[in-house]
Amino acid sequence: MNLEEGNTAAPAPSEVLDRNIKEFAPETKDRPFMERLLDGVLQKQQDLDAVITKAAPEWPLEKISRVDRNILRIGLYELLFSDRSEVPAKVAINEAIELGKNFGGESSGRFINGVLGSVYKELGEPGKEETSTKKHRKRTAPLVPYEQMPIERKGGAVVYAIHGDDVYVALVHDVFGHWTLPKGGIEDAETAEEGTAREIRQELGLTAEVREKLGENEYVASNPEKGKIRKHVTYFLMESPFTDIVLEEKGGLDDARWFKLADILDLNFYHDILPIITKAINILLNPGDRQKA
């Protein structure tokens, strides 16, 4: 059973959870809590959707973005069905709002606050002064300064192809509703260019060549042996033949396709990769720059 009906090609939610734990928090001790929450939301999805419809009658469920819809389901489940000694009502609402701000659109936080706030008031504002016991856990490891965290290299790319008179870009779609760039880990013996080309072959089935470096960014994740690590991503502009994309079967991604360059401007991207995509578009729109690359 999936959180989104009708998407039979999507990976199982448990696979997505497992992938994200391995990627972002492999040392977490909260996995049982995460699994209970996921199972509970799936089992109560019909009831949760009915509450959303009642609490936001001006917003038909199918018109709410996928990200906001699923955050509301999680927040409502914690609000209505969870053990309040583990996650008090106010904490459930605040955490859902933060998820909306981080992963949704510009108005997601306000929208989620409005829906969950109205349900909370209908319930009589239970546990108004409570706080979560999860927030006061004793730190078991010293805080490592950012500069001293080990670095793990990753590579990503804006992959383009020329077909007829048009320029196409290959993008992947994740289960959180965003179109994004293909990327993966770079092995110790590889250069960033070699590792990125290998990952593009594995993830999309495309043989692409590096034309230009587009930029870099970093984010922090956890490793069971190394603790906090900096994942450093180098992005490239890469050219591929215009051939069929064969998406690698792995959790977290549910689609991949070619888009005409002019059509990608209206897609839902993560904010941190927008500068990379914008730079690539500017190069690809200028044939002279593209030839130099």
Q: Computed from CA positions of residues 130, 40, 113, 106, in that sequence, does the dihedral angle turn out positive or negative?
A: positive
Crossing angle between the packed helical segments 66-80 and 31-43, to the nearest 10 degrees: 100
Closest CA to 259 of 276, 230, 284: 284
Residue 288: which pLDDT band, with cuts at 50, 70 and 90? low
Give percent of the chain above pLDDT 70. Answer: 83
Distance CA 68, CA 66 (A): 6
Q: Which two tokens stand for residue 271?
A: 């904010």
Closest CA to 222 of 157, 155, 140: 140
CATH of 31-133, one of 2.40.240.10, 1.10.940.10, 1.10.340.30, 3.40.1160.10: 1.10.940.10
Which CATH superfamily groups domain 146-292? Nucleoside Triphosphate Pyrophosphohydrolase (3.90.79.10)
SS3 assignment for 69-117: HHHHHHHHHHHHCCCCCCCCHHHHHHHHHHHHHHHCCCCHHHHHHHHHH
Q: Which range has the worst mean pLDDT, 60-74, 133-147, 225-239?
A: 133-147
Are 214 and 18 within 8 A, CB to CB? no
Highest mean pLDDT among 30-39, 47-56, 111-120, 254-263: 254-263
Highest mean pLDDT among 61-75, 163-177, 201-215: 201-215
Q: Cα torsion at 82, 86, 87, 89 (round to 10°)?
A: 80
In this predicted model, what pLDDT tens digit does every residue of 185-243 receive, in sequence order?
Answer: 999 999 999 999 999 999 999 999 999 999 998 877 655 556 677 888 999 999 999 99
Rg (CA), the chain: 21
Residue 284: which pLDDT band, with cuts at 50, 70 and 90? very high
pTM above 0.85, yes or no: no
Bigger pLDDT: 1 vs 77? 77
pLDDT at 133 over 70: no
Distance CA 210, CA 157 (A): 9
Which SS3 state, helix, strand or coil, does residue 228 take? strand
Distance CA 70, CA 86 (A): 21
The owner of tokens 């997505």 is 16
Which SS3 state, helix, strand or coil, does residue 202 take? helix
pLDDT at 5 over 50: no
Domain boundaries of the chain, sorted by first residue: 31-133, 146-292
